[in-house]
Structure 1
Amino acid sequence: MFAVLTGAGLSAAAGLNAYIPFLIVGLLARFTDVINLPGGWQWIESWWAIGLAALLLISELVLDKIPAVDSINDMMGSIVRPATGGLVAAATQSASALDHSSFLQDHEWIAFVGGLVVAGVVHAGKASARPAVNLGTAGFGAPIVSTAEDVSSLGLSLIAVFVPLLVIVALIVLGWALWKWSRRMRSFARRRRDAEHPA
């Protein structure tokens, strides 16, 4: 059960920022015994994978804070974020240090598909809310929202690994926050549009 919660939390974090949970899994697997990746997944803790993920994270941190560029970045993330969510879910759910379920270890594809779906849903919420944020704030909200997403991804990743039972609460809060923020920004954008073009 803990491995399922860890995978779900890491997948949701990947829906916000693909590279933060990937790096956390890779670094913890390389330098600690918290995560022991099985043979097929040990490439995640290799120096080349960690280095590439770090470079991609730096570019994501910059590009996602620029209005309009962030929407293009989200379009590219439509493939990367769900795929990364599936990867980290499958890798961590099959890691014996997190759970001793032979079923999960033998059926990694279930974790991959589940992670793909969770990350895809979170990414879709993020990507649909961002244009409303840009329109509603004339672009000034992009860096603030992006930073909040990065912090949320980091926090959710750490919770998923170290306190998996809190993943349920974190996912509920994340879902509520995305829904609330999206509604608020759409309403703000609608009012602004009506003020600029009165009937």
Structure 2
Amino acid sequence: MLAALTGTGLSAAAGLNAYIPFLIVALTARFTDVLALPSQFAWIESDWAIGAAAVLLFSEVVLDKIAIVDHLNDAIGTFIRPATGGLIFAATQAAQDLEEGSSFMQDNPWVGVVAGVVTAGIMHSGKALTRPFVNGTTMGMGAPVVSAAEDGASLGLSLIAIFLPILVIFALVAVFWLLFAMWRRSRRKQKYRDTAMAAAGYYS
């Protein structure tokens, strides 16, 4: 149960930012005894994987905070985020199975991959659908604020998933509520703006 919560939390975090949970898993496995990745996933904690993820994270953090550019970044993320979610779900599940003496996830890694892809895909969809409304109603000024909040949520979810997995469900509810609240607020602003423009004769 806890292994599933860890995988779910990490893959959901990947839906917001693919590289934050990847790096946290890699660094935790590399420098602590909290997570011991099985041999087929040991490359995640290698120097080249950590270095590449760090560079990509820097790019993601910068590009995702620029209005319009963030849409292109989300389009690319449509493939990267679910794939990363599937990878880290399978890796952490297999690691837990290794500790518990079970071999199910090691023998059937596709189960974790599918679960991670679906979870990350759902979170990514929420992010991608919310951002255009935020940018449209703030003329792009809201992009860096919302992006920073998403990065913070991804970081928080990742840490909770590894160190306090029992709280993953509550964290997910909070993140979904945050995304919904931003979407609803942006919709209201857009509706108010459209109403005001119509009253001023712009749509006549």
| Length-normalised TM-score, structure 2 | 0.93
Contact persistence 2:137–2:190 (CA under 8 A): yes
Aligned to 1:188: 189
When structure 1 is superposed on structure 2, of 101-110 and 29-38 the one drifting more is 101-110
What does 1:138-177 align with in structure 2 at a 5 Å threshold? 138-177=139-178
Q: Percent same amino acid at aligned positions?
A: 60
Counterpart for residue 10 of structure 2: 10
Unpaired stretches in structure 1, ≥5 consecutive residues? none
Task: Give the structure 2 partner of residue 126 of structure 1.
Answer: 127
Match of 2:104 in 1: 103
Structure 2 match to 1:65? 65
Pair member with larger Rg: 2
Amino acid at match of 1:48: W
Q: CA deviation at 1:39?
A: 0.7
CA distance in 2, matches of 1:40, 1:171: 29
Structure 2 equivalent of residue 135 of structure 1: 136
Residue in 1 that maps onto 2:32: 32
Q: How many residues align?
A: 199
Point out where structure 2 has 5 or more consecutive residues left out of the alignment. Answer: none
CA distance, structure 2, for counterparts of residue 98 and residue 126 of structure 1: 34
**Alpha carbons 1:36, 1:97 under 8 Å: kept:** no
Residue 197 of structure 1 deviates from its aligned partner by: 3.9
TM (norm. structure 1) is 0.96
Provide Cα deviations, 1:93-141, integer angstroms capped at 9, x if missing partner. 0003785243233221111100000000000000000000000111110
- Which residue of 2 is the match for residue 22 of structure 1? 22
Aligned to 2:88: 88
Letter in 2 for 1:167: V
Contact persistence 1:35–1:98 (CA under 8 A): no
C-alpha distance in 1, partners of 2:65/2:149? 11
Q: Secondary structure at the match of 1:95?
A: helix
Q: Contact 1:2 / 1:98 at 8 angstroms: preserved in 2?
A: no
RMSD of Structure 2 on Structure 1 (CA): 1.4
Distance 2:187 2:47 in 1: 43
- Answer yes or no: is 1:45 the counterpart of 2:45: yes
Work out the CA distance in 2 between the residues paired with 1:20 and 1:158: 10
| Amino acid in the other structure paired with 1:81 | R
Deviation at 1:195, TM superposition (A): 2.1
Task: Note closer, same or farther for the CA distance 1:169–1:91 as it changes in structure 2 (3 Å cut).
Answer: same
Secondary structure of residue in 1 paired with 2:96:
coil
Say whether 1:54 aligns with 2:69. no
Q: Which moved more, 1:151-160 or 1:95-104?
A: 95-104
1:183 offset after TM fit, Å?
1.4
Q: For 2:15, what is the secondary structure of its paired residue? A: helix
